[in-house]
Amino acid sequence: MPSAIHVPSVSPRSTRLPLARPDLRLLDAVGQCGDLTEAARRSGLRAAAAQRRLERLDQATGLRLTLRDAHVARLSPDGARLLVAGRRFFRQVDQAVQTEIYGRGTEALNAPRVLNIATAEPLMEDLVEDAADTLGILLSVSHDTPRQVLGQLAGYRVDAAHTWGVEGLPQSVDRAVRVYEVLDDPLWVTLPLGHPLAGRDTVSLADLREENWVSEAGPRAEVLVRRVYQRAGLTPPSRIQVTGASVARGMLRRGDAIGLGSPACPAVFAPSLVRRSLVERPRRAAGLLVDPAVVPGALAQRLASLLTARCLGRFTEQHGDLLRDPWWADWLDGQRVLLDRRIEAARSLQPPPALPDESVQVDVEDLRLLRAVADHGSINRAAAVLSISQSALTRRIHRLELRLGARLLVRSSRGTDLTVPTRQFLARLAGFETELLAVGLGGAADRLPSGAPGGAFQPRTHRSPRGGGARPGRSSSERSAGRPAAAGRN
């Protein structure tokens, strides 16, 4: 009884996906701890078995996914990208099982155990600890410029990004994202104590146009100070040094320039500096962008609210002098009201139904069997293509039905076929596979030469996203340096 639902065919390359769930767990463990023995233990393997599996993955994908020796292992840029793309793929599969086979809502996703997040602002350690305590989520944090943070999200190196924009947050990058507001972020100016205008409570941008400024560039490469002046209808200063956040903070501390600050930025404290309100009340938008296929909406909303609460708390603790200006006091009261509403809205969200445990999740071998039945129209023809008997294929799909607690096959006098929900599930799966192959395996920075041992340290340099190299002969501590730390890890 063939169904009218069309299941898109996929390329021969994707009929046997090179990455299964156990492989993903091993790559995740390598990325989290950097030690081959510990990564093997977390994956339930011996070190030698983990080494062989990593070599097999390198050969299957044609990529160098890890850089390792007998004891140390870390993800290469290709491995990091495949890990994020693979995590997204399997969570899309889980979501499709929930929505198509079980008929549940689109938010039927459990929170990930570790959330990889890039940020353009230094996150406070207490925020990381609060996320572990109150949200049950570990944050693996990397810091970069606003533009590079979006690049990490678009390049499948992280699952979430905390950043800002002058004209508002980007509504889209080169992958599906959902945007959550963190703060309507007004700006002040930081001046040397001996500046002629330092004695005023409020100063004007127009009076500071001839000063030496330091500024960051936003996600669209817009220079913050220049854009603020343009939005105020003023000619931008002629002397603006554009640099990263850390260099800008150092220049402000030394009194080499003046600059803009905000509640979402860490304060620059020095006896020689003062903060003053601006007459023009310039603002920027700070927010959280997440991959909705990986991060459930309820978790993203609660994390955004936690970010807002921490920014407001830090503002009152560190910038109480600004509250002498009634405008700032009114702004703070308004932000607290909005935060209370968002927290209440987040609490009202029903938690998503729990996904099955690992023993009942659909893996790539299950997908291969179901795809064969869909592609060839019947159990008989699919069994012949898979080189197994019809009864054996039927039993294997029946065992999958028992594991999932869901019906996948429909039997009639005309034979055995997939149910309509199962075909709908497979129709969605084709797009997920295409994305995984295009993002996780396409555009590789460093493909393995034919016959090369998978992932072993080679005499040649391995390129990183920043163009740096992994030099042979470095010590274990040097090789493990630079990995983003997973805050809250055991």
Structure tokens at 334: 């308004």
Phi, psi angles (nearest 5°) of residue 59: -70, -40
171 CB-contact burial (10 Å; exposed 0-12 / middle 13-18 / buried 19+):
exposed
CB 3 within 8 A of CB 423: yes
Most confident range, picked from 142-146, 246-250, 307-311? 307-311
3-state class (DSSP) for residue 192: strand
Q: What is the Cα 373 distance to its own chain's centre? A: 35
Handedness of CA 55, 61, 67, 72 (dihedral sign): negative
For residue 356, pLDDT over 60 is answered with: no
What is the residue whose two structure tokens read 């030698």? 48
Distance (Å, whole) CA 137 – CA 326: 38
Q: Distances from the Cα of 417 to the Cαs of 103, 215, 405, in angstroms?
A: 20, 63, 18
Distance (Å, whole) CA 382 – CA 368: 10
Per residue in 382-431, pLDDT tens? 888 889 998 898 889 888 888 888 888 887 766 677 888 888 888 888 88
Distance (Å, whole) CA 266 – CA 182: 15
Side chain identity, residue 187: L
Which residues lie below 8 Å from residue 451, measured CB to CB, with a gap of 6+? none
Query: Which of 404, 478, 392 minimizes the C-alpha distance to 69?
Result: 478
- Provide the terminal-to-terminal Cα distance of the chain, rounded to the nearest Å: 53
pLDDT at 136: 83
Q: How many residues does the chain have?
A: 490
pLDDT at 112: 77
Per residue in 7-49, pLDDT tens? 454 444 334 678 899 999 999 999 888 888 898 898 999 988 9
Distance (Å, whole) CA 164 – CA 188: 16
Question: What's this model's pTM, rounded to 2 decimal places?
Answer: 0.68
Distance (Å, whole) CA 347 – CA 349: 5
Structure tokens at 390: 């019809």
Structure tokens at 323: 């509250």
Mean pLDDT of the chain: 80
Structure tokens at 84: 């994020």
3-state class (DSSP) for residue 8: coil
Structure tokens at 485: 């730390």
Query: Which of 62, 97, 3 minimizes the C-alpha distance to 360?
Result: 97
Distance (Å, whole) CA 323 – CA 140: 34
Q: What is the Cα 49 distance to its own chain's centre? A: 29
The dihedral region occupied by 103, where left means phi > 0, alpha psi between -120 and 50, and beta the remainder, is left
Which is more confidently placed, 116 or 459?
Answer: 116
* pLDDT interval class at 165 (50, 70, 90): confident
Beta bridge partners of 115: 139
Distance (Å, whole) CA 48 – CA 54: 10
H helix intervals, 97-169: 125-130, 146-154
Distance (Å, whole) CA 28 – CA 457: 20
CB 67 within 8 A of CB 73: yes
Per residue in 198-241, pLDDT tens? 999 899 999 999 999 999 888 878 899 999 999 999 999 999 99
CB 182 within 8 A of CB 162: yes
3-state class (DSSP) for residue 148: helix
For residue 458, pLDDT over 60 is answered with: no
Query: Which of 292, 86, 87 minimizes the C-alpha distance to 176?
Result: 292
Distance (Å, whole) CA 99 – CA 462: 41
Which residues lie below 8 Å from residue 162, measured CB to CB, with a gap of 6+? 117, 118, 119, 120, 121, 123, 149, 182, 286, 287, 288, 289, 307
Distance (Å, whole) CA 461 – CA 472: 8
Most confident range, picked from 113-122, 244-253, 275-284? 275-284
Which residues lie below 8 Å from residue 272, measured CB to CB, with a gap of 6+? 192, 193, 194, 255
* pLDDT interval class at 467 (50, 70, 90): very low
